[in-house]
Amino acid sequence: MTEDEDQQFWFNTETKQVEQGRQSHYTNLMGPYPSAAAAQQALQTAASRTEAWDDEDDAWDKGTRED
């Protein structure tokens, strides 16, 4: 693990805990995030981004996408 990774935060999807530095197997982690607070919001951030992308896909399919 590099020194930079020690300063980053990860959200563990199995334990639902924030970890500083990569402590767990990568298959259970979301991140890295610049702060513990950002890592704690990982699932909400992912859900918001997915919804926005789905909306863009729908607009593209309908031909109403704004660039």
Predicted local distance difference test score (pLDDT) of residue 64: 76
The residue whose two tokens read 């020690």 is 6
What pTM was computed for the model? 0.72
Task: Tell me how far apart the alpha carbons of residues 49 and 17 are, in angstroms, rounded to a whole number.
Answer: 21
Residue among 28, 21, 26 at smallest CA distance from 2: 21
Q: Are 46 and 33 in contact (CB under 8 A)?
A: no
**Using a CB cutoff of 8 Å and minimum separation of 24, what contacts does 21-30 make?**
none
Domain positions in the chain = 3-60
Tens-of-pLDDT digits for all 67 residues of the chain? Answer: 565 767 899 999 999 999 999 899 999 999 999 999 999 999 999 999 999 998 888 888 888 766 6
Query: Which letter does DSSP use for residue 11 in this model?
Result: E
Predicted local distance difference test score (pLDDT) of residue 55: 85
